[in-house]
Chains A and B, each alone.
Chain A
Amino acid sequence: MLSLLAATPALPLDEAGKYVAGAYIVFVVLLVVYVAIMASKLQRIERELKELANFAERDAASAGEDEREEIRA
């Protein structure tokens, strides 16, 4: 990695450097913010799915108990 960096040409980071860096950082920040928002949405979906799965399992278990009680009766 160090030898690769040594072989690459030096970037002229003078006055223009901060503007170029700013432009690329803005792009990366926007991308990261978008991905973070999407990740929070996905977390919410995951939470809801977990809740629904728990509910479905509880529902199935109580339906099974009802059936057993009916058979006993």
Chain B
Amino acid sequence: MYGKGLRPLSIATVAMLALSLSLVFFYAPLDADQGFIQKVFYIHVPLAIMALLGFVVGGGFAIAHLRSGDSRWDAYSYVSIHLSVIFGVAVLITGAIWAKASWGHWWVWDEPTLVSFLIVFLLYATYYPFRYAIEDRERQARYASVFAIAAGAFVPLNFMAVRMAEQLVHPRVFATSSGGLPGEMMLTFLCSLVAMALLWLTLVKFELAAKSTSGQVKRLRRALDAPGAAGKSRIAPEVS
């Protein structure tokens, strides 16, 4: 069910990633201020946007789970958050590389954008121990959904707080009074953003398909094993 449409989506993702990389290195002009290092922008910012959006989407799925009680929504929420945490790791590492090249430091603690993203990332890093500390599957899903909603609401609030912060070492390139990005850079950035969005979606679908198949195999194992349930398992134990 989850694997439906995965092949065309994967092809579209690969094509879009190839197109965006070509635009980044062979079409977008060099930044007058930062030069070649600004190319990191086209991977760092789309990754950050998708990570933060993924956290919010995970919260949305969690609301659907609490409203309907359908465990599928919990799986959507879990996978969205999981992928966003992975994207978050990439954001922190690419950001640190950019900071080192640009500012001469791997990390700057008095920069609100960096610290706020780290706070959001660490908040979601607690999602896994929080979730798996609860053994009962239903309670686990319910509590994880409450966490996903609360943390998902924190993400836009955090973003707004950072935008209102006075410290602006981190460049603001969208919707600025000076006009923002030039056309070629904006086109390249938008292509990169679409590529990252497609990648996120493909990986979410991929992981959901794997999780669903694994669940079905477990159900099949239980069904086949049922007649001998009283005694020893008739099938070899599950491979961990």
Q: Are A23 and B44 in contact (CB under 8 A)?
A: yes
Report B-chain residues with C-beta under 8 Å of the C-beta of A52: 217, 220-221, 224, 235
Interface residues of B in 201-218 (CB under 8 A from A): 203, 206-207, 210, 213-214, 217
Name B's interface SS.
helix
Q: Is the interface of A mostly helix, strand, loop or mixed?
A: helix
What A residues does B234 contact at CB under 8 A? 55
User: Taking the complex as formed, is A8 at the interface, i.e. its CB lies under 8 A from any CB of chain B?
Assistant: yes
Q: Is residue B238 within 8 Å, beta carbon to beta carbon, of the partner chain?
A: yes
Residues of B that sit less than 8 Å from A by CB: 25-26, 30, 35-37, 39-40, 43-44, 47, 86, 89-90, 93-94, 97-98, 100-101, 199, 203, 206-207, 210, 213-214, 217, 220-221, 224, 234-236, 238-239
Chain B hits for A48, CB < 8 A? 217, 221, 238-239
Query: What residues of A have a CB within 8 angstroms of the CB of B220 in the complex?
Result: 52
Given contacts A12-B35, A16-B35, is CB(A45)–CB(B210) below 8 Å?
yes
- A8 neighbours in B (Cβ, 8 Å): 26
State which of B30, B40, B100, B239 has its C-beta within 8 Å of the C-beta of A44.
Answer: B239
For B221, list chain A residues within 8 Å (CB). Answer: 48, 52
Is there contact, CB below 8 Å, between B37 and A19? Answer: yes
Binding site for B on A (CB under 8 A): 8-9, 11-17, 19-20, 22-24, 26-27, 30-31, 34, 38, 41-42, 44-45, 47-49, 51-52, 55-56, 59
Closest to A56 in B: B224
> A40 → chain B, closest Cβ, in Å?
11
Known: A27-B90, A41-B210. 12 other contacts (CB 8 A): A12-B30, A12-B36, A16-B35, A16-B101, A19-B101, A20-B37, A22-B97, A24-B43, A30-B89, A45-B217, A51-B235, A52-B235
